[in-house]
Structure 1
Amino acid sequence: MKLNEGFMNSMHKVMALLRNGNPTEATEAIQRALRGEEIADVASEAHADVQVQERPATATETSTATARAKAFTRAPAPSDLEVEDRGHFTTHSYANAAGLRQYRLYVPAGYRSEPLPLVVMLHGCTQDADDFAAGTQMNALAEKHNCIVAYPIQPQHANPSKCWNWFKPGDQEHDKGEPSLIAGITREVMASHRVDPDRVYIAGLSAGGAMAAIMVRAYPELYAAAGVHSGLAHGCAHDLPSALAAMRGGKRKGAKARRGGLDGALVEAPKRPLIVFHGDADKTVHPSNAMDLVRGFGLEASSQNHAPAAAPGHRMCNVKRLKSEHGVDAELWTIHGAPHAWAGGSPRGTYTDASGPNASAEMMRFFLAHPRRIH
């Protein structure tokens, strides 16, 4: 769940309220911030109740903030045509009882008569479909592997920061809320294009990654596998305070956990393969959430350190290959020193880390190796 600058400023004020023993005011401030109310209102009320100690930023903090801003700023698009422009990138909409969502659809130039795989990509907070497509470069991979890619769009009226509402109980279940909209988009693309029903996949970043984890659990009959980058496990939160606690890596106390989820003795057996990426320097979603995502894949098949390229500056990572007791595969990629950003992504999109490994290419490899099988 990536948060914009105003929201992060609100969270700093909230933490100040908590440190000074004002939990009620802190909860109210969180709710106002998530409703999209002006940050100044939150800040002024926090200042009235709490005297926050201000100090000048150190040289190290200033340098770090500058580097982070550069890393998460979208670069101008090049003037020459990119490989993804060879196909067709169009806008569509889907509606059901839960509402309406637009989506962008990429159909590769090689689309002919044979059924193709479909990858559904869920953007993170503050992003949109074009931003996410540019950052992940998934359309270029669609040209290479002859796949269709759909990008559902979360509008600001559904969430002030355009986050998928992965932490709301009404948006966590089969045929309810946002999952019903995403599944509906998936089925609409399958109905309007020649899609192989055994090769339909879903992936996402941050809040989109958390929603992808929900989707593959809620719709195992629809998705063959899922990819989660810097996301969170299904059931780790049931409201805003528990969502923030989960993002910090705190103990989960939601209703799902009490029924045998993350804090319970039982963990639901995974039904579909899963590939997970997470930076161990992520300051937005704690890396412990990656372990929660693969908790049901208990048997470690192998573990190795991996260097994506020989060039200096490329990040090392550890790759664990797991298998559930029923033979369902998973991969966990822990990227050393990586922030809250899509690994190997293009600077044309926000929240990308170009130093790799190439999460998009690895997800596509994993997906195409795991067509849907009925267990």
Structure 2
Amino acid sequence: MIDATMTRRMEEATRLTRAGKLHEAMAILQGVVPGGQPGGKSGTRDEATPDESCRAGHTFEGTCQVREEEAPASRSASAETGSHRRAEPSAGAAPSSVYGHARQATTGTFPGSDVGVPSAWRDKWRQLRETVARPEQARHTSETAAPGTFTAGSFTNHAGTREYKLYLPSGYHGQALPLVVMLHGCTQDPDDFAAGTTMNRLAEEQPCCVLYPAQPMTANSSKCWNWFKAEDQQREGGEPAILAGMTRQVIDTHGLDASRVYVAGLSAGAAMATTLAMTYPELFAAVGVHSGLPHGVAQTLPDALAAMQGGTGSLAGGGTARASGWASEVPAIIFHGDRDTTVHPSNADRVAAQYAATLREDETASHRESSGRVTVEQGQVADGHAYTRTTHHDGKGEPRLEKWQVHGAGHAWLGGSTHGSHTDPRGPDASKEMLRFFFCHRQDERSMS
């Protein structure tokens, strides 16, 4: 008899098999965590207790606590997704849980691979194993995508495989729409992030397609994007190469506007968004960084923790991007709560320092302000947070960089829906403001400036 635990293991093993990760899939079916012992937990979050997950290592966002709750039955499955959400981290919660790479899988034969696997699953497992193609060339698979649907897909290239969800607005009929790439934070997934940011609903109001890459637990056990690892901070390698390749494939498949491609993320996803802006500036016309960190400031666990706690080194205290060795011409919009206890608010200034609008060291701050290059606005959301918005303009008066310091806000997507995790509905609405900023920019205009 197949119990619920084995059913969950088989579902995860099926996903890993289709991604070419046969070792990990077999380990899950046998009740083995990669690097663990037979008969242990399967590695799925619903089987591990919070304390067990937290003791396993380190993460760089939130906690391991899990709470399952049903979403309202009236919620749209396409515009806001994810019926089960995780609990938000408590204020001041210390970073916990795990990160790490799964060992590389092959498509060979595994001696004793059927040991411990119920006979009811063996035939299906063998069929799946036999149909897995070697990822020697980029490949892309997806469900049939139709307007107004939220479909699943998978992308593979030389750097690895990632699954994703793609939202096509109901007004899409093959025209060259913009594309917004949304990178979730730790412990999240595409459904959760779509529900929390409400970006699919906004894509109906301001037609665009929205791509949500998924970070699997096999790449990072808390599903964080590996912004803090040297191998995932480079062009044509690691996670940046996978994400850039996936983005290009979606553009080509659906005939989207390659000059209007944008990337945004939360926390670890925001740090990876900045990495993409640094390593693939020709691909992205603008970037949104929510509660994130600068690119290239961490390559080890101590570096990452130091950066999250306020930072040390060349960018500490708002140092220049030139000193860090990294800078990007990509226009950027930055959101950060000044009560963020997970990623220190000083990181907003450090991120801004890596973008072109703040690199004009030959101009004094007073000269920039007097010439109208920089404007500062104080605002208040009705029944919500106050904020300070600092905007850097180019020679044509267009915004090149916006930094939103939100007073009293913690580590959460501002203006988001409680249908998703890590959100703060008290605003300002980061999703709307990011789309407004994004749609002011296109790649061909930047290349001519």
C-alpha deviation, 1:43, in angstroms: 6.4
Deviation string 1:296-333 (CA, Å, 9 cap, x unpaired) is 42255100111233xx3x00000000147998700000
> Hey, what's the Cα distance between the residues in 1 that align with 2:321 and 2:252?
40
Q: How does 1:296-307 map to 2 (within 5 A)?
A: 296=355, 297-298=357-358, 299=368, 301-307=374-380
Task: Report the 3-state secondary structure (helix = DSSP H, G, I; strand = E; otherwise coil) of the residue aligned with 2:378.
Answer: strand
Does residue 123 of the first structure (1) align with residue 184 of the second (2)?
Answer: yes
Does residue 282 of the first structure (1) align with residue 340 of the second (2)?
Answer: yes
Deviation string 1:167-196 (CA, Å, 9 cap, x unpaired) is 001001111100011011101110110211
Task: Report the 3-state secondary structure (helix = DSSP H, G, I; strand = E; otherwise coil) of the residue aligned with 2:391.
Answer: strand
Judge conservation of contact 2:321–2:327 (CA < 8 Å) in 1: no
Deviation string 1:88-133 (CA, Å, 9 cap, x unpaired) is 1000000112211000000000001421000000000000000000
> Hey, what's the Cα distance between the residues in 1 that align with 2:53 and 2:242?
34
Instruction: Flag the structure with higher helix content.
Output: 1
Task: Describe the shift of the 1:155–1:262 C-alpha distance in structure 2 as closer, same or farther (beyond 3 A).
Answer: farther
Task: Describe the shift of the 1:231–1:315 C-alpha distance in structure 2 as closer, same or farther (beyond 3 A).
Answer: same
> Hey, what's the Cα distance between the residues in 2 that align with 1:164 and 1:266?
21
- 1:170 corresponds to which of 231, 239, 247: 231
The equivalent residue for 1:220 is 281
The equivalent residue for 2:405 is 334
Task: Report the 3-state secondary structure (helix = DSSP H, G, I; strand = E; otherwise coil) of the residue aligned with 2:389.
Answer: strand
The equivalent residue for 1:7 is none
The number of equivalent residue pairs is 309
C-alpha deviation, 1:264, in angstroms: 6.3
> Hey, what's the Cα distance between the residues in 2 that align with 1:246 and 1:148?
33
**Structure 1 length normalisation: TM-score?**
0.76
Deviation string 1:197-218 (CA, Å, 9 cap, x unpaired) is 1100000000000000000111
The equivalent residue for 2:252 is 191
- 2:421 corresponds to which of 350, 355, 374: 350
Q: How does 1:250-265 map to 2 (within 5 A)?
A: 250-252=311-313, 265=323
Does residue 374 of the first structure (1) align with residue 447 of the second (2)?
Answer: yes
The equivalent residue for 1:52 is none
The equivalent residue for 1:78 is 72
The equivalent residue for 1:54 is none
**Farther off after superposition, 291-300 or 277-286:** 291-300
Judge conservation of contact 1:91–1:102 (CA < 8 Å) in 2: yes
Judge conservation of contact 1:166–1:207 (CA < 8 Å) in 2: yes
Deviation string 1:239-276 (CA, Å, 9 cap, x unpaired) is 111000000003137xxx79xx8686466443110000
Task: Report the 3-state secondary structure (helix = DSSP H, G, I; strand = E; otherwise coil) of the residue aligned with 1:334.
Answer: strand
What code does the residue aligned with 2:392 have? L
The percentage of counterpart residues that share the same residue type is 48
Judge conservation of contact 1:272–1:328 (CA < 8 Å) in 2: no
Task: Report the 3-state secondary structure (helix = DSSP H, G, I; strand = E; otherwise coil) of the residue aligned with 1:89.
Answer: strand
Judge conservation of contact 1:76–1:348 (CA < 8 Å) in 2: no
Task: Report the 3-state secondary structure (helix = DSSP H, G, I; strand = E; otherwise coil) of the residue aligned with 1:370.
Answer: coil
- 1:100 corresponds to which of 136, 156, 161: 161
Task: Report the 3-state secondary structure (helix = DSSP H, G, I; strand = E; otherwise coil) of the residue aligned with 1:320.
Answer: strand
What code does the residue aligned with 1:347 have? T
> Hey, what's the Cα distance between the residues in 2 that align with 1:202 and 1:120?
5
> Hey, what's the Cα distance between the residues in 1 that align with 2:52 and 2:436?
46
Does residue 148 of the first structure (1) align with residue 209 of the second (2)?
Answer: yes
The equivalent residue for 1:321 is 391
Judge conservation of contact 1:74–1:348 (CA < 8 Å) in 2: no
Does residue 180 of the first structure (1) align with residue 241 of the second (2)?
Answer: yes
The equivalent residue for 2:136 is none
Task: Describe the shift of the 1:264–1:365 C-alpha distance in structure 2 as closer, same or farther (beyond 3 A).
Answer: closer
* Bigger-Rg structure (1/2): 2
**Farther off after superposition, 266-275 or 183-192:** 266-275
Task: Report the 3-state secondary structure (helix = DSSP H, G, I; strand = E; otherwise coil) of the residue aligned with 2:275.
Answer: helix
Task: Report the 3-state secondary structure (helix = DSSP H, G, I; strand = E; otherwise coil) of the residue aligned with 2:258.
Answer: strand
Task: Describe the shift of the 1:41–1:171 C-alpha distance in structure 2 as closer, same or farther (beyond 3 A).
Answer: closer
Task: Describe the shift of the 1:78–1:262 C-alpha distance in structure 2 as closer, same or farther (beyond 3 A).
Answer: same
> Hey, what's the Cα distance between the residues in 1 that align with 2:208 and 2:237?
28
State the superposition RMSD in angstroms. Answer: 3.0
What code does the residue aligned with 2:437 have? F
> Hey, what's the Cα distance between the residues in 2 that align with 1:81 and 1:166?
33
Deviation string 1:271-297 (CA, Å, 9 cap, x unpaired) is 110000000000000000000111142
Task: Report the 3-state secondary structure (helix = DSSP H, G, I; strand = E; otherwise coil) of the residue aligned with 1:356.
Answer: coil
Structure 1: give runs of 5+ residues left out of the alignment. Answer: 1-31, 45-67
What code does the residue aligned with 2:259 have? D
